[in-house]
Structures are given as structure tokens and as C-alpha cells.
Amino acid sequence: VRLLDDEELTITLDDIKYEGFKKKELRDVFLKLEFSSMIDEYMLIDEADESLSDINGYKLVSSDKELDRLLEKMKSNPLFAVDLETTSLDPHSAEIVGVSISLEEETGYYIPVAHKSEGWQAKKEELLPRLKKILEDKASKIIGQNLKFDYSVFSVNGIHPVDPEFDTMIAAYLLSPDTKRFNLDELAMKFLGYKTIKFEDLMKRNQLGTDFSKVPLEEAARYSVEDADIALRLSAVLRKKIYEQELEDIFRNVELSLIPVLADLELNGVYFDVPSLTGLSAKYGKVLDRILEELFDLTGEQFNPNSPSQVGKVLFESLGLNPSRKTKGGSYSTSADALEELSGEHPAVQKLLEYRKYQKLKSTYLDSLPSLVNKVTGRIHTSYHQTGTGTGRLSSSNPNMQNLPIRDEEGKEIRKCVIPQKKGWRIVSADYSQIELRILAHLSQDKQLLDAFKNDKDVHSLTAANLYGIKESEVTDEQRRIGKMVNFSIIYGISSYGLASRLRIPSNAAEEMISNYFKAYPQVRTFIKDTISEAKEKGLVRTMFGRKREIPQFKTKNRNTIQEGERIAINTPIQGTAADIMKMAMIKIFELLQEHKMESFAILQVHDEMVYEAPENELQKLKEILQEGMSEVVELSVPLDIEISVGDYWC
């Protein structure tokens, strides 16, 4: 390379002086790449003025005539974003304070309804019937953020809107299901580079606690209209991404259609026999006292079993046990997994695990559930989340009804406390039988698996027979249990080391089991190999119905991280497809119950199971609807079997 120093230049140093980056162009690049933190760092935020008067497009509806004009606009322009302001997050007790509508980007209207301030406000008893006509009109295309809440509040007020046209929270989740946060503030920054007014800041500025009805009308309008407007703007950006990433079918036919179904399920709630819960709590309290006494006898000293440091000191110093693992902080781990590995070394470890089991049952369920009974309905209303898992499974919280223990006797005792609220009614549950293994059979097209399900064979006994090289008739209960564990372990992409840990057998024995499994089901091996290979090539996997999940673990060279990616690649198409089928079944059953004008209603969804309350005279019809809604909702290469049980409690 030779540097030229005699070239005639037509520019001066002033011409090429750096005067800062081009803000608009840089902001566009950051938006395209979804670098929301960089937008903030380089101060490229688009932030509207605080005052309502400074925003030309935002209007506070302040007369009957203005309201009439807005409602007419909504009829002639049926695509609009809606956002409710309420006094509570509990739909049963929430009063509607105001309604925001956005018909075009950067515009919107706020209809005040129940503010504790001067100025014109719409009469709720006149406004809601007029909104009902528009929201229930099949021509309406409703857009919003987390519309399940708005639909729940509308439902309590006798309004049952059509299926949403677009929910920005659900769309963002489908595009990136492993992201943890999908609130409007985050999405506005990520996709629009826009900083919204936060509810907490608004309330703090006005020193109003959480009571939105006390917010002055102008400020309420500024805050609320922004939510509707941003939802409308986001829908335009996210709609394009949903289309480009081939997620339209799963978005429209499954997730959006599920919103009214989940709103209804949450509003229905679950009725618990509270006196029975209280009685069980007292019973388990005595059990805990007894276990504690036995634990102290075994260790020869008293300590707090809920204190990790005290437990560690007793186990690893007083009793001299060898710790199996350490925490990140360097202390000895006393987690459930760590204790399970030590359970054979001293009877005190097993006793400690037993104590923890009863302690968790008592504190998590028996003591807390009665306090969660809704004062309006007398029932417990959990929240179901469409955005809580990477695979598409629903999750639940406050309380987590999907985490109720079901396998052991203690869990069954808690389930017995779920009863019908009305006399003469029954609890009906419908549970998919081995749905994930059936999906594995369908996706892999393994001949032996297909044959097993088509001919109603016991697939766990069949697997056990193949693992041990014996006849199915010779399989013991313990061998069947291991066969079942291996069947489900394969779905979760378990390694020989993981299987050895789970079964507490040597690694070479676990390797042999996995080898025997794949000899018995060779197409399953091919399916797993091809799925991982395609996932590494594309960087993502999809369910049968198009739900996608990216696997960034394949971008690293770390072997453990890559193996984690391989497990995700195997599990997601199976568990995600099962989740899709369950959601479609929920939608179908909801429609059938409405079509037949049934009184029966859903009270719980727990992974592969749906639970209903039903009057005695509807039991037969409900069974038929469940059969049609769950078994016939999709067609696989093997039958989708369900098990239906009817009882005076959830059994």
C-alpha cells in the first residue's frame, strides 16, 4: 500500500468535519434491529408532550354531541383500538372509569365515565348499551393490548365483543415466545422507539395511590388515549412481522380466538369447600409436628428445617454427609434435587423431604387458598397467561392452579375440595390420554408406536418390554414405571446422564436403555435427528400448526448450551403441538356449549385436562361435546383419546 500525498482535492477539512450522527436514519436502523436500549442510550426516543392540548390528535370527549359523533365514526370505521380504565384489576369489582378509542394513528378519544372530578361525563347506563351494539357487531375489528382484561370487564357489564382483530401483546409473544416482558411500555420502545407515560408515574405525580377515578380528566385522557393509539400503531408494525414469519394462522385461529374463552374461564372461577381446606390444614399441621419430632430424633438436634444454612450445617457437618452440589455462592445446596441425590445416605434426608412436601402443601394451598376467595363470587379466580411459556402452553398465577399436586394422596385430598357451588351439579373432567406420545407417533410415523396407539395397547408396557427384552405379559409394575419414564424422557430430549440421574442407575445402563428404545422405535430416532438438524440449519423449530420458537443456543460453541438447544428442538414441536391442540379444543368446546345453550361451564384448564361444572341433566350432552371438542378437533395418524370422569368433586 502506498499513501498518496499529492492528490488534488476538491474538498476542505470543514467539508468533512464530523457534526454528529444522523438521528432519524440511526433511529430507523435501531428500530429495524429492535435495539430498544440503544434508542434510549442515544436519546432517540419519540416522546409526546405531557399536555393534552399539545397533542392535536388526542381529544377528551366533553359533550353528548361529541360522543354521538365518535360512536358514528366507530360504526363507519369498524377497525379501532380500545382501552379501558378501571378502578380495579379484578373484573368482578372493577368500575369502568373511562374508555379510550383510537381510529387512526396518532389520534384518539377519551370518554370519561366515572371520574371524581368536574366536567362532562358519559352516563354509564346509556353508553354501555351503545358500545355493546358496536363491539358485538361482526363487522367490528377490535385492536388492543392484553384484551383479555378488557373483554373480562366488558363481559361483567353484559357486553360480549367479537373475537379480537389484533392483540399486540399476543402478537409480540408469538414473534418471540422466550422473551419475558410484553407490556405496552416495553413494546412501544422496542418497535416504535416511543416512550409512554407510565401508570406509576402518573399516579405518583398526582399522589393518588392507585385510584384512577381521581385523575383529572385532561391528564386521564392524555394517558389513556396514548395506550389506545400506541396499540393501533403497534398493530401495523407487528401485523407485517406476523405475516412475514408465517404466524397468521396460529395467531388468528388459535390465540386470538382463545381470548374470549380464557376471559370466560377466569370469570367462572373455581369453587372450593373452604371448611374442608381449613380441616386439611389443621390435619397437616399435626403431621408436620410429628415429622419434625422424628427429624430431630434422627439428627439428635433441633434446627429450623426451613433454613438452608441450618439444614446444611446439620447434614454436612453434624451428620457428615457428602454434599452432592453447591450453590452459586459456594455454600452447600439443600435444594430438593440435591436432597433427592442424598436420600439413600441417611433417613433424616428422606424425613426432611417429607417435611418440605407437607409444608409446601400447607402454606401454598391449604393456608393461602381461603384468603383468595373473591368476595363478590365466593369463588377463586386464577389468571391464565398466553405469554408465559416458550412452547405455547398456558400458565396460571394468583394462585397457580396448574401446579396443584395430583399424583399422590395428599394432592388428591386437595382436589376433593373442588366441588360444585350449586346443589345437584357435578364436576366433570376430561383428560387427554398420553397426548404428547401420540403426537410423537404422528410426527415420527414410527410403525410400532402407530400400531400401539391404533390398537389401544399399553405403550408404557410395550416400551418396558423393549427395554428389558421381555414379553409385554412379563412386565412388572416397576418396569412399566421405568418404561413410562423413558417414554416421556425421550420427548424432553434427555441425555443418558440425565436418565441415569432420574432412574438412579449407572450411566452405561442408561445408555443401553436409550439404545434399546431407539432399536424398538427407529423412526423416532430419525425424527429426532432430522428435527435437530433442521433446527440448527434454520435456527428455529415449529409446531404442527406453525407456532415457532427460535433456538439461539445453536449460535454458541458451548457444548452444554448446544445440548440445551437440542432438547428444546425435540420438545417444542411435541409439547407445543399438544398446547395448540388443547387451545383449539377449548375454543371448539366453548362454541359448542354456546351453540347448545348449555348451563355447564369450564372452571379449570390444567395442561392436558379440562374441568367443568355441570347440572345433572346435562351430563350426557356435555360428555358428547367434550368428545367432539377434544377428540375430533384435529385428525392425527392415531386417535386422540380422552378420559372423562364425573364426581361430586374434582377427581
CATH of domain 53-183+205-245: 3.30.420.10
Q: What is the mean pLDDT of the chain?
A: 92
Residue 45's pLDDT is 66
CB atoms within 10 A of CB 428: 24
- What CA–CA distance (Å, rounded) separates 292 from 285? 11
- pLDDT at residue number 55: 66
Q: What would the pLDDT profile of 456-480 be if each residue is shown by its tens digit?
A: 999 999 999 999 999 999 999 999 9
Instruction: Give the residue range(s) of CATH 3.30.70.370 domains in the chain.
Output: 397-435+579-647
* Reported pTM: 0.89
Q: Reply yes or no on whether the pLDDT at 225 is more than 90.
A: yes
Q: Are strands 166-167 and 141-144 parallel, antiparallel or unpaired?
A: parallel
**Overall average pLDDT of the 402-415 stretch:** 82
Mean pLDDT of 210-215: 87
Average pLDDT of span 14-34: 83
Give the length of the chain: 651
Per-residue pLDDT tens digits for 135-155: 999 999 999 999 999 999 999
pLDDT at 40: 72
In this structure, how many other beta carbons lie within 10 angstroms of the beta carbon of residue 601? 15
**Cα 462-468-469 angle, rounded to 5 deg:** 80
Going by pLDDT thresholds of 50, 70 and 90, the confidence category of residue 23 is confident
Nearest 5°: phi and psi at 234? -60, -40
CA distances from 261 to 85, 149, 225, 427, 547 (A): 22, 12, 27, 19, 20
**Contact yes or no for 371/420 (Cβ under 8 A):** no
How far is it, in rounded angstroms, from Cα 394 to Cα 525? 29
| Stretch 524-533: mean pLDDT | 95
| Residues in contact with 129: Cβ distance below 8 Å, sequence separation at least 6, in sequence order | none
Beta strands in 299-441 (DSSP E): 383-385, 395-397, 425-432
The mean pLDDT of 429-448, rounded to a whole number, is: 96
Report residue 172's pLDDT band, with 50, 70 and 90 as the boundaries.
Answer: very high
- The whole-number pLDDT of residue 206 equals 65
Query: Distance between CA atoms of 573 and 400, rounded to whole angstroms?
Result: 25
- Which fold would CATH assign to domain 437-572? DNA polymerase; domain 1 (1.10.150)
Q: In the prediction, which pLDDT does 536 show? A: 96
pLDDT of 441 above 70: yes
Residue type, 197: I
Lowest mean pLDDT among 506-510, 515-519, 603-607: 506-510
pLDDT the model gives residue 499: 86
More confident of the two residues 619 and 309: 619
Superfamily for 274-372?
Taq DNA Polymerase; Chain T, domain 4 (1.20.1060.10)
For 69, 370, 404, the CA distances from 275, given in Å and listed in that order, are 55, 9, 18
Nearest to 442 by CA among 248, 642, 634, 643: 634
Residue 431 has pLDDT above 90, yes or no: yes
**pLDDT tens digit string along 97-122?**
999 999 999 999 999 999 998 899 99
DSSP letters of 95-131? PEEEEEEESSTT-EEEEE-S-SSSS----HHHHHHHH
pLDDT at res. 6: 87
Range list for CATH 1.10.150.20 in the chain: 437-572
**Sequence ranges of the chain with CATH classification 1.20.1060.10:** 274-372
Q: Which one of 3.40.640.10, 3.40.720.10, 2.60.40.10, 3.30.70.370 gives the CATH number of domain 397-435+579-647? A: 3.30.70.370
Mean pLDDT in residue range 207-216: 82
pLDDT single digits (tens) 72-96: 999 999 999 999 999 999 999 999 9
Helical H segments across 207-364, by residue range = 217-244, 248-249, 257-268, 274-299, 308-313, 336-342, 347-360
For 85, phi then psi, to 5°, come to -110, 130
The residues near 634 (Cβ < 8 Å, ≥ 6 apart) are 581, 584, 640
Region 314-318: mean pLDDT is 89
* Residue ranges matching CATH 3.30.420.10 in the chain: 53-183+205-245
**Cα distance between residue 479 and residue 463, in whole Å:** 9
Q: How confident is the model at residue 497 (pLDDT cuts 50, 70, 90)?
A: confident
pLDDT of residue 639: 96
> Is the distance from CB of 296 to CB of 314 less than 8 angstroms?
no
Residue 568: what pLDDT? 95
Query: Cell numbers of 597, please?
Result: 345453550
